[in-house]
A = this chain, B = another copy of it.
C-alpha cells in the first residue's frame, strides 16, 4: 500500500518486487503473436541478460512458459488451467448468465458480458449470435475502454474521481475512422451515454461492427462492468440499436440487482 517513495524518493516502483518483474516478462511473451527468442524478449524488457535468463527459467519450470525447439518461448498450459478454474467459478458470470441468454433470445445477436479493469474491458462471457462460423471465443480478451460500447457504458457510471483517474491513463489508438482520439470527444460521448443510460459503439473498434451496451455495477463501485448486444452493420442499423437499447438496459439493471442480492452484504 505505502510502497511509493520508500527506498529512493522517485522510483515510482512499477511491479510488485520479484513477482511483478516475473509477470511483466510473462506478459511480454504472452502478448506477442508468435514465439519469441531470448534476445527479442531481452530487447522488449529492461532487464539485464543474466536476470532475464533466470526469470525465464523460473517461468518455464513453473509451467507458465514453455520453451519449444529452436529455443523459442511460448505461453504454457498452466495458464489455461488457471483461467479455466477461475472462469468456471466466477460468481459474477454465473449470476449474469441467464440474463445473457434471455437477451440473446430477444435480439438474436451476440451478447457480451465484460468487466472494467483499469483502462480495459475484459470479456467474461458471451452468447453467440448463431453457430454459422465458429467465432474465436472472446472470453478473456481485453479491449480498450474508449472504443467499445461496454467500455463507454462502464465509464459513464463511474464516480468523478475514478473516471478522471482512468481518463488520465488513456492512450488513444485509431482503430477505425470513428475511433475517439481525445479525452474531450470521449467525454462528450460519455455525457450522452450517462443521460440515456446506455452507450453505442458506432464502428469505433472495428468497421462494420456496431453495438449497444449498458452498465452493471455491484455494491458500491468496486465492480463495474456491462452487457452488450453486438452485430454486423449490414443487419444492425442504428435504429435497430435504439430499439434494443431498452432490453439491454433492463438486463443490465436486472443483473445489477441480482449481483446485489447474491453477492452483496449477506455473503
Contact = CB atoms under 8 A, between A and B. Distances in A.
Contacts of A80: 83, 86-87, 122, 124, 139-140
A141 B84 CA distance: 6
A158 to B, nearest CB: 17
Interface in A102-157: 115, 117, 122, 124, 127, 131, 134, 136-142
B79 A82 contact: yes
Given A78-B117, A84-B141, A23 B136 contact: no
Contact of A115 (B77, B87, B127, B142): B77
Interface stretch (A12-20, A39-47, A186-194, A243-251): A12-20
A198 to B, nearest CB: 23
Interface string A37-78: 000000000000000000001110111100011100011111
Contacts of A30: 82, 85-86
A23 B74 CA distance: 19
Given A23-B62, A84-B141, A222 B79 contact: no
A79 B86 contact: yes
Nearest to A266: B70
B139 A63 contact: no
A81 interface: yes
A127 B122 contact: no
